[in-house]
Amino acid sequence: MSRLLWLVLVLEVEGAVENEITRQIVDAAIHIHRTLGPGLLESACPHILAHALRKRGLAVGCEVSLPLR
């Protein structure tokens, strides 16, 4: 799961508790790892995780541009 640390997720969920969002992310990542195995290409990870989170009803953006201060 360390490969997912660099992934930037933008979550816009009204009324959701941070712990519940975290649980959803970790649960999806574990499910992907168990289903597709440890040999998954690093470049595919963010897109697969984003798809899994969208199926769970979360709004997700990958590699989103953020303003620098």
pTM: 0.68
Q: Is residue 22 part of a domain?
A: yes
- Count CA atoms within 13 Å of residue 38 on its CB side: 2
Tokens of residue 41, six digits: 């290409």
Q: Is residue 65 part of a domain?
A: no
- In this model, does residue 8 exceed pLDDT 90? no
Q: Is residue 6 part of a domain?
A: yes
- Residue ranges making up the domain that contains 6: 2-55
Q: Which pLDDT does position 17 carry in this prediction? A: 64
- pLDDT, tens digit, 9 for 90 and up, residues 27-55: 999 999 899 887 778 888 889 999 999 99
Name residue 50's amino acid. Answer: A
Dump the DSSP string for 12-67: --TT--HHHHHHHHHHHHHHHHHHH-TT--TTTHHHHHHHHHHHTT----BS----
Q: What's the CA gap between 11 and 20, in Å, rounded?
A: 12
Q: Is residue 61 part of a domain?
A: no
